[in-house]
Structure 1
Amino acid sequence: MSGSLATGVALADQVRGRSRRFERVGPGGDPVAAAATSASPAVAPAAEHVDDAPAAGVVLDCGWGRLVFGQTYADQADVADVLRSEAAGARDICIYLDDPHVLVSRLPDELFIDPSLTFRLPLHGEGLAAPEIPGLRIRPLRDAQDAEDVNRIYAANSMVTAPVEVLVANAATDSFLHLVAENATGEIVGTITGVDHVAVFDDPDGGSSLWCLTVDFNAAPPGTGQALITELAARLVNRGRAYVDLSVLAENEGAIRLYERLGFYRVTALCVKRKNPINERLFLPAMPEGYDELNPYAQIVADEAMRRGIRVEVTDPTWGELRLTSGGRTILTRESLSELTSAVAMSRCDDKRVTRRILAQAGLSVPRGRTATGDGADAAFLAEVGGLVVKPARGEQGKGITVGVHTAEALRTAVELATRYCPEVLLEELRAGEDLRVVMIDHEVVAAAVRRPASIIGDGVHDIAELITRQSRRRAAATGGESRIPLDEMTREVVAEAGYTLTDILPEGELLIVRRTANLHTGGTIHDVTAELHPEIAEACVTASRALDIPVTGLDLLVPAAENPEHVFIEANERPGLANHEPQPTAERFVDLLFPGTRAPQRLWSPAGAASSGV
């Protein structure tokens, strides 16, 4: 195999501690030292080409995997060898290969044609109109912190992450245009990567391609994706490029509509990928029966199990129940609840009064509270503490909970609401602070996140009801329909307390909280704070999980800030959702617990604060 690695690849691989300039791929995809054959020339960087011919055998390391430019290969066998050398945990893509179906037909057990479509945008004429988004700024990726933020967005959208040093090194080369979108507070809320084919291999067609367009659905304002495409296209026009291509899954109809609206059109260019665990959903003939009916909390477990070769049977899709089998071991799960959780441990979390009692006996801090009795003692307790949270003693998803009860009349109403869900009602002292969820697996902190109530930002044009409806659609799209903001009486009350009605126009840039609780099912958002979690809180959570004697739990606390030691425990959930804590490896650690012998290989990038997987 002869070939040339682009400059960006050489830089990235030097950072990784191996010089790909002298790496060759032998039969079966194993690396072969350059000295192994005198007939194999050393690989030179693209910058060393002195003639007008394009480079041959070009591979570009993007961090999350390699781009293999098929049009630079004369022999399909060489392409096969490159794809076989794919690193564990990476996703390599070969594009622009002549007759890709022929290659796949020769290696059907190893390779497959990606079920994606390629679209092209001509880079001439007036260009794209940039959407006006107040406070949004698009700039190049600059440093390691930017790369960390990009990886968090990748992980939150179930994309393959990349080593931070590779992203930073690549961004410093002419081969890449790695851009990020930054909101008014300086938070990175979106990213896009452009690859300049001329800089990479002297592409005679003057082309370029677009990869990894994604946004933070919790924080990115509408139009962020279009703004990223527009800015990338403008920069490529300035370089004199003729077009930019992108690849999108055929089922992603929303994205395809956006691309077509911007002027992209279909071209015939297929992608070839290697059959690996990451790509399983793209090439398996069928997912387990009932898989598509699972909610995201069960799907994330099924996905991680299948990625490891664990057999998955959907026994009850509506209930989210799975039967997982590996070797001679079979375990039933319902989302993150499994047979490893005893009935006693489950009952301790099921009744909030029991949870409080056990945690208090373990020396942990809980708010003052009592069981509602429906007499004067309830009002006396309210007068004593000044404000209450009223909740059903048993229940989930925030149903029947009233936060901020300050009057006897409000107390009666709140108790009446709570009794619709459970005859026993808990009155708890209202404590200030942020809503912190800590996911514990095998008595280790795996993820910590601050949950915030649903909110909207005014644009000075639309009324509050319309803004809520739009934000609800975005939350539903980002969570597979699990998170929506109800336009109910509670929403009206919260809006009224802020001095507005649903028909009022919210001033541009003004943030309005529209729900009292941070429950994800009613539009709340979740923000990872695992790396910032104070050690005293982490230690208290370990004590709590051991006191409850439960292998998997979601502990809810109120804290002034995650990085401060002050805290009080509110609840413990025996079936915490694992799908809302990206980029932390919640599903990985859960399947580690169920099947210790199947621990996954290390990621190309791991978020700060992630629990060790033992590998």
Structure 2
Amino acid sequence: MSSSRQSRSTPPASHRLEKMAVGTVVGQGNLSRPERGTGARPNAVLDCGWGRLVFAHTFADNKAVAETLSREREGHRDIGFYVREPHVVLSFAPLELFLDPSHTYRLWMSEYRPARRRSKGFYIRPVSTREEIESINRIYAHHGMMTVDPTFLWNNRRSRKLCYLVAIDENTEDVLGVVMGADHRYAFDDPENGSSLWSLAVDPQARHPGIGEALVRRLAERYKARGRTFLDLSVMHNNVEAQALYEKLGFRRIPAFTVKKRNMINERLYTGPEIEETFNPYAQIIIDEARRRGVAVEPIDPAEGYFRLSLGGRAVICREALTELTTAIAMSRCDNKAVTRRLCAEAGLRVPAQTVAGQSESNIRFLENYGSVVVKPARGEQGMGISVDIRSPDDLEAAIETAKAFSDKVLLEQYCEGDDLRIIVIGREMVAAAIRKPATIFGNGNDPIRTLIERQSRRRAKATSGESTVPMDQETERCIELAGYSMESVLADGKELRVRKTANLHTGGTIHDVTDRIHPTLAEAALRAAEAIDIPVVGMDLMVPDVEKDDYVIIEANERPGLANHEPQPTAQKFVDLLFPQTVVRPADIAARRQERDPYSP
């Protein structure tokens, strides 16, 4: 740490005097063990619902810290915070513990300055309903974070030790983000009068900017009002965006260390360096799961998502979720949308009316028969060249020309109202289901539609590592004009406008998990369609009026579905199960191994 960094971490004189007054040893960051007579509770541990905060600086010796962290409960994540001598702690349990590669930041409350402007579109308050806890866990799971025990959070929602704050959408009342705070004074009679921030997460589908910053500010203001001296947090060393936010708010690095127990949740932090090659999220989610199970990963063509997985004498080449297990026949059936439809119809599944675009007269007749149609290239993916809800002959001809840029053969299809439902089938099992919604903007009464689209596109790109953007093309302009606006129109504040008809992620769409809600008939239709195509891994696309009812039509099939889009559902796990079934760990296997180690265990 540089001298300039050290000087910024040193508390102001007023803080040093305050700490001297309560009898603690003063030092940079003031992380030394509280002296006798300070009133701090020894061996302080705080249950947070997802694991325990182990305040290591309150422990009498390092061995006790190691023993406490080693007793972590299964399915939880404990954090040893303020570890003074991490190398010594690790020496007592070198195979169980590891030094977390995170930085600790501190905000001195006397230096905090409130925001100049109030956030618009959402408000922040403590958790107040059980439904909000479900939403919190959905957000945590999406980010790969530990979920919180709902009963624990509900019973502790008014605790002075813990505080869970949520950001709530003013219009929909949906939970948009969450943060947890720990009050050290109430947790262990902290003589330093501190507090800390944990588990900050924002729904990646949230349309409002600044949610994370607002949650941090509100928590800081809450503890400042209680008279707390500082707010600390731990952030991964490579999370530069989060660090930039915290430094903007006045947080500064302090020399504190964190120790955790080795477990499945933390595995990527201690298994060694990641593969140097950069893969997109759809390949990376599979690679991470494979490495976790000891399956070797060999990059082949990272730019295109190709890699080889191998274990023992078995090796499988993958391109994201497409593998050698998918035959050329099955792939060609998915690639040709007309063939996909015909196979599904022959299997007794419901499909929309469809024809091949031909002479202008026949195209117009098909349009007149159904009133509204979808125009799509017979071959293609990611929504490219597709025009939806075409109602006029002029728009029909223009849409056909657009589709021809992607395929010589163009299909006209009956337009069916409803939501775009993607069902993931892996190994003849439905693993995940999600509603895909088209790109949508919300007016603010000031900016033109063009500017709102550009902002929404930037937010979607940031939330999806560049995978999702809203194209500024003829189809977007057509959708806007169909709604009675132009690119330069100014939407009223709060006015919602869909700027695309297709719900593909790559054209700015958003994805909303409905796995636990879909009607059994819809799941069965997807399974039967996968069987008809004879494909082991597929994303089946259906149009449905309501996911909880049995009405549907099958639109198409994707032989290379984006598994990362369906977290927290276990898509990558089921994918690796299919390829390497010998790596599957079942509850019965765990119990058997435990019995082998200790024949007297229950």
Q: TM-score range by the shorter chain?
A: 0.7 to 0.9
Q: Judging changes above 3 Å, is the alpha-carbon distance between structure 1 residues 126 and 99 closer, same or farther for their aligned structure 2 residues?
A: closer
**Map of 1:208 onto structure 2:** 195
Aligned length: 550
Q: Is the 8 Å Cα contact of residues 308 and 600 (structure 1) preserved in structure 2?
A: no
More displaced, 104-113 or 440-449?
104-113
Task: Name the CA distance, whole Å, in 2 between partners of 1:391 and 1:502.
Answer: 25
Aligned pairs (5 A) from 1:167-206: 167-184=153-170, 185-206=172-193
**1:244: Cα distance to partner?**
0.8
**1:573: Cα distance to partner?**
0.8
Specify which of 223, 229, 234 is matched with residue 236 of structure 1. Answer: 223
Corresponding residue SS for 1:500: coil
Question: Are residue 67 (structure 1) and residue 53 (structure 2) matched?
Answer: yes
**Map of 2:353 onto structure 1:** 368
Task: Name the CA distance, whole Å, in 1 between partners of 2:585 and 2:205.
Answer: 28
Question: Are residue 114 (structure 1) and residue 108 (structure 2) matched?
Answer: no
**1:464: Cα distance to partner?**
2.1
Aligned pairs (5 A) from 1:178-577: 178-184=164-170, 185-290=172-277, 293-374=278-359, 376-577=361-562
Q: Is the 8 Å Cα contact of residues 454 and 524 (structure 1) preserved in structure 2?
A: yes
Aligned pairs (5 A) from 1:113-192: 113-124=99-110, 127-129=113-115, 131-184=117-170, 185-192=172-179
Q: Is the 8 Å Cα contact of residues 111 and 250 (structure 2) preserved in structure 1?
A: no
**Map of 1:86 onto structure 2:** 72
Q: Is the 8 Å Cα contact of residues 131 and 223 (structure 1) preserved in structure 2?
A: no
TM-score by length of 1: 0.85
Please provide the CA RMSD for this pair. Answer: 2.1
More displaced, 463-472 or 145-154?
463-472
Task: Name the CA distance, whole Å, in 1 between partners of 2:247 and 2:356.
Answer: 59
Task: Name the CA distance, whole Å, in 2 between partners of 1:324 and 1:447.
Answer: 23
Q: Is the 8 Å Cα contact of residues 378 and 409 (structure 2) preserved in structure 1?
A: yes
Report the residue type matching 1:462 in the other structure: D
Unaligned ranges ≥5, structure 2: 1-36, 588-602
Q: Judging changes above 3 Å, is the alpha-carbon distance between structure 1 residues 68 and 600 closer, same or farther for their aligned structure 2 residues?
A: farther
More displaced, 301-310 or 489-498?
489-498
Task: Name the CA distance, whole Å, in 1 between partners of 2:149 and 2:311.
Answer: 31
Q: Is the 8 Å Cα contact of residues 175 and 200 (structure 1) preserved in structure 2?
A: yes
Task: Name the CA distance, whole Å, in 1 between partners of 2:216 and 2:100.
Answer: 23
Task: Name the CA distance, whole Å, in 2 between partners of 1:92 and 1:267.
Answer: 21
Q: Judging changes above 3 Å, is the alpha-carbon distance between structure 1 residues 121 and 151 closer, same or farther for their aligned structure 2 residues?
A: same
TM-score by length of 2: 0.87
Q: Is the 8 Å Cα contact of residues 277 and 308 (structure 1) preserved in structure 2?
A: no
Report the residue type matching 2:564 in the other structure: A
Q: Is the 8 Å Cα contact of residues 130 and 150 (structure 2) preserved in structure 1?
A: yes
Corresponding residue SS for 2:516: helix
**1:318: Cα distance to partner?**
1.4
**Map of 1:15 onto structure 2:** none
Question: Are residue 583 (structure 1) and residue 575 (structure 2) matched?
Answer: no
Corresponding residue SS for 1:580: helix
Q: Is the 8 Å Cα contact of residues 112 and 249 (structure 2) preserved in structure 1?
A: no
**1:176: Cα distance to partner?**
0.7
**1:60: Cα distance to partner?**
2.3
Corresponding residue SS for 1:171: coil
Report the residue type matching 1:173 in the other structure: S
More displaced, 175-184 or 139-148?
139-148
More displaced, 550-559 or 370-379?
370-379
More displaced, 374-383 or 330-339?
374-383
Q: Is the 8 Å Cα contact of residues 207 and 456 (structure 2) preserved in structure 1?
A: no
Task: Name the CA distance, whole Å, in 2 between partners of 1:551 and 1:90.
Answer: 34
**1:578: Cα distance to partner?**
0.7
Corresponding residue SS for 2:166: strand
Task: Name the CA distance, whole Å, in 2 between partners of 1:339 and 1:58.
Answer: 53
Report the residue type matching 1:213 in the other structure: L
Report the residue type matching 2:500 in the other structure: R
Report the residue type matching 1:524 in the other structure: G
**1:143: Cα distance to partner?**
4.1
Q: Is the 8 Å Cα contact of residues 435 and 451 (structure 1) preserved in structure 2?
A: yes
More displaced, 390-399 or 501-510?
501-510
Specify which of 11, 21, 39 is matched with residue 53 of structure 1. Answer: 39
**Map of 1:35 onto structure 2:** none
Task: Name the CA distance, whole Å, in 2 between partners of 1:587 and 1:86.
Answer: 26
Unaligned ranges ≥5, structure 1: 1-50, 603-615
**1:438: Cα distance to partner?**
1.0
Task: Name the CA distance, whole Å, in 2 between partners of 1:134 and 1:287.
Answer: 40
Q: Is the 8 Å Cα contact of residues 108 and 230 (structure 2) preserved in structure 1?
A: yes
Q: Is the 8 Å Cα contact of residues 110 and 275 (structure 1) preserved in structure 2?
A: yes
Q: Is the 8 Å Cα contact of residues 130 and 230 (structure 1) preserved in structure 2?
A: no
**Map of 2:4 onto structure 1:** none
Q: Judging changes above 3 Å, is the alpha-carbon distance between structure 1 residues 499 and 385 closer, same or farther for their aligned structure 2 residues?
A: closer
Task: Name the CA distance, whole Å, in 1 between partners of 2:534 and 2:213.
Answer: 49
Q: Percent identity?
A: 51
Q: Judging changes above 3 Å, is the alpha-carbon distance between structure 1 residues 158 and 77 closer, same or farther for their aligned structure 2 residues?
A: same
Task: Name the CA distance, whole Å, in 1 between partners of 2:276 and 2:113.
Answer: 46
**1:601: Cα distance to partner?**
7.0
